[in-house]
Chains A and B, each alone.
Chain A
Amino acid sequence: MTEYALEVEHLRKTFGEHVAVDGVSFALRPGGSLAVVGESGSGKTTTARMLVGLERPDSGRIRVAGRDRSNAARGRATRLARAREIQMVFQDPYLSLDPRVTVAACVEEPLRLHFAMTPAERRARRDELLARVGLGEREADALPRRLSGGQRQRVAIARALATEPKVLILDEATAALDVSIQAQILDLLAEIRRDTGVGYLFVTHNLALVRHVADDILVLYQGRVVESGPTRDVLTAPEHPYTRLLLHSVPRPGWDPAGIAADRRALATALRKTPPAPAPDRASERRSVTP
C-alpha cells in the first residue's frame, strides 16, 4: 500500500452553531497536486488551517507522511516535526511577511529553528533557496516593502520550502497577483514540484487555474465535499450541479451570466431541501454526491 503524503478523514469543525467543515475526507499522494475548490463559506480555508495546525478540528483524522497530526501540537518536538512536514503560502503577499525582517533573515529563521547548521552553511542554504525562487543578493538585503507583490510571494515560497516539507499548502497564493505575474509563479511552482517531489494542496476558487495546476480536484460546498476526482474528468464531465455552476461561472467569450444566475438560485433552493451527504472518498477516485 502506498503511503499518502497527506490523508484526511471525516474532518469536522464548527464555530458555535455554524458547521464550517463537515466530514471532509481526501488524500494526497507524495508529489501529487490536489485542488480544494470552493467559494467563500465553503470551508476550504478552514480545512487548510486545520492541516497546518492553525485551527483544531472537532473530530476527524489528519495524517501527514503517515503520522497522526489530528491533535494540536503538544510540546516543541511535535510542533517542529509538523512544521517540517507541512508548510503554507498565504494569499496576501503584502501581509504575510514581517515588515521589519529582511528577505535573507526571513528565509534563515526557519533554518535556524529546524536545522543545526553553521552560519556559513545557513547562508549557503539561504542563497540556494532564494536562487531557487529566482531572487538574488539584491533582494536578499531588502525589506519586504522594497519588493513587488510577485517578489514577496517568491520569498514566501522560499521560506516555506526552507523546512523541506512534504506538503505545501497554497491558500489562494496567486489570487492577489497580476495575471502576468501569476503565470510566472505557477511556472515556478511546477518546476519546484518536479525537482523536489513536494506535494501541493491548492486552495482556490479559480477553476481555470485548477485546470492547469492540479492532478485531482475536490469541490467543497457549504463545508462538504460534493464532487471529487481527477481534474480532467471532473472539469470535462462534472456530475454535481454545483460543480457545473462553478464551471459555467468562469467568464469567457460567449458567457451567459443570466443563465448562471438562474442555475444558482435553483441550486440554492434544491440544496436547502436536501443538504449534501458527506462523501467518504479518495480524490483520485471519481465520486460525486447527488443533491
Chain B
Amino acid sequence: MTTRLLEIENLTVRLAAGKAARPILDGVSLHVERGEAVGLVGESGSGKSVTCRSVLGLLPEGSRASGGVRVDGEDILTMSSTRLRDLRRRGVSMIFQDPRASINPMRRIGDFVAEGMRAGGVPQKDALKRAEELLESVGIREPRAALRRYPHEFSGGMLQRVMIAGALAGGPRLLLADEPTTALDVTTQAEVVSILTGLRAERDMGMLFVTHDLELAAAICDRIYVMYAGRIVEAQSTEGLFSRPRHPYTSGLLAATPRLESDQPPHGVPGRPVSLAEAPSGCAFAARCAHARPGCTEHEPGPREIDGAQVACLRAEELIHD
C-alpha cells in the first residue's frame, strides 16, 4: 500500500497551561490522497482551523498534541524544526482567510512571492523570474510591473491571488486553504476559486479546503468532512453528503443553508454551536438534536462506516435524514 499524501490519525490537541487548560480537538482522523480536493466544514468553535494548521505544525500556543499528522508518511508532530521548515517551503503551502493581514504591507509583491525560493537558495534573478510566471498564472495583469508594487495597491481579490502565487512558489504537493474566500465579494470568490481549482488540477496538488460554507465545499471538493465541537462527525463523498446526510448535524446544516433553487425556507438548528471545551459528555450535538435519545448523552459515539460514509452517531443506521 502506498502512503497517503496527508493522513491525520487520532489527533487530539489540548491547551495544557494554567487557567486556559481545555481540550480543542478530540481524535480527529482524516486523509487527503494525491490530487484530491477535500473539504473540512464546520461552524465556529468546531476546530477546523486548528486541524488545518496542525498540518504545518502550527499548533496553538501552550498546547499539547497526540496522535499523528503525516505528510507522505512523515510525522509532523515529531519532525525536527529544520525538516519542518523545509516541508513548509516545498511540500505544503497554506492560503489564509485575510490576505491583507497575512502579507507584510511594507514589502513588495515580488519579494513576497519570491521569499520562499530565496530562502531555499534560489538566486534573486531566477526567483523573481519565477515569481513573475506565478503571478501571470494566477491572472495578474502585467506581472512584471506587479513585482515592484506594494500590497495596498491591490484589491482584496487581487491580493488573494498574490497569496496563491506565493503558496505555489515552492511547488507544493499539498495545499491548505483556510477560508480563502470568506473575506471576498461573491463574484470575486468565484474568480479566486476558479484560479485555485484550475491550478490545483493542472499541478495535481492535493488540497484541504477549510470553510464554514457547505455549498462552497460541495462545489469544489470530492469528499467532505464535517466537524462539530472538535470532532469529525461525518465524512462522505460530496454527492453522498448532499443526497443522503447521515449525521443529524449535517442534515441540520443543510436545512439551515438558504438555497437559490429551493422553495424550502432555511430552517434553524436550535441552540448554538459549542466548542469541545463546552461540550457535555456523550454526543456533543445531542442537546441540539431532534433525534437524540437518553443514550446519546451517555456515550460518545465513535465513527462507524455505513454505506461508504463515516458517521459518528448512535442512531446513524436508523435515521433517514432527508
Contacts and interface: CB of A to CB of B under 8 A. Distances in A.
Given A180-B252, A180-B269, A250-B260, A245 B187 contact: yes
Q: Which of B194, B213, B220, B267 has the most CB of A within 10 A?
A: B194
Given A180-B273, A252-B219, A253-B238, A246 B187 contact: yes
Nearest to A259: B194
B190 to A, nearest CB: 4
Please classify how large the interface on chain A is, using the bins under 10, 10 to 19, 20 to 34, 35 or more: 35 or more
A190 B265 CA distance: 11
A195 interface: no
A250 B253 contact: no
A40 B273 contact: no
Contacts of B215: 208, 250-253
B190 A253 contact: no
B197 interface: yes
A209 interface: yes
Interface residues of B, number: 43
A186 B265 CA distance: 9
B136 to A, nearest CB: 15
Contacts of B261: 252
Interface string A157-190: 0000000000000000000001111111111001
A184 B270 contact: yes
B212 interface: yes
B260 A183 contact: no
A179 B212 contact: yes
Interface string B19-60: 000000000000000000000000110000000000000000
A95 interface: no
A180 B194 contact: no
Contacts of B255: 183
A175 to B, nearest CB: 10
A181 B187 contact: no
Interface string B123-154: 00000000000000000000000000000000
B158 interface: no
Q: Which of B213, B214, B272 has the most CB of A within 10 A?
A: B272
A contacts with B: majority SS? helix
Given A148-B272, A180-B273, A251-B216, A260 B266 contact: no
Contacts of B72: none
Contacts, number: 130
A179 B272 contact: no
A260 B190 contact: yes
A249 interface: yes
Contacts of B238: 253
Q: Which of A180, A208, A211, A255 has the most CB of B within 10 A?
A: A180
Contacts of B266: 182-183, 186, 212
Interface string B184-216: 011111110111011000000000000011111
B190 A205 contact: no
A252 B270 contact: no
A167 to B, nearest CB: 22
A123 interface: no
Contact of B272 (A40, A150, A235, A253): A150
B218 A252 contact: yes
A94 to B, nearest CB: 12
B257 A264 contact: no
B218 A251 contact: yes
A179 B260 contact: no
Given A178-B272, A257-B190, A257-B191, A206 B258 contact: yes
A72 interface: no
B195 to A, nearest CB: 8
Contacts of A185: 268
Nearest to B189: A249
Interface in A172-226: 178-187, 190, 205-209, 211-212
Contact of A257 (B213, B219, B252, B270): B219
B71 to A, nearest CB: 27
Given A148-B272, A251-B215, A252-B261, A179 B43 contact: yes
B268 A180 contact: yes
A211 B258 contact: yes
B253 A180 contact: yes
A247 interface: yes
B259 interface: yes
Q: Which of A235, A248, A258 has the most CB of B within 10 A?
A: A258
Interface of A: 39-40, 148-151, 178-187, 190, 205-209, 211-212, 235, 245-255, 257-258, 260-261, 264
10 contacts: A150-B272, A180-B272, A181-B272, A181-B273, A182-B266, A205-B186, A250-B215, A251-B216, A251-B219, A264-B187
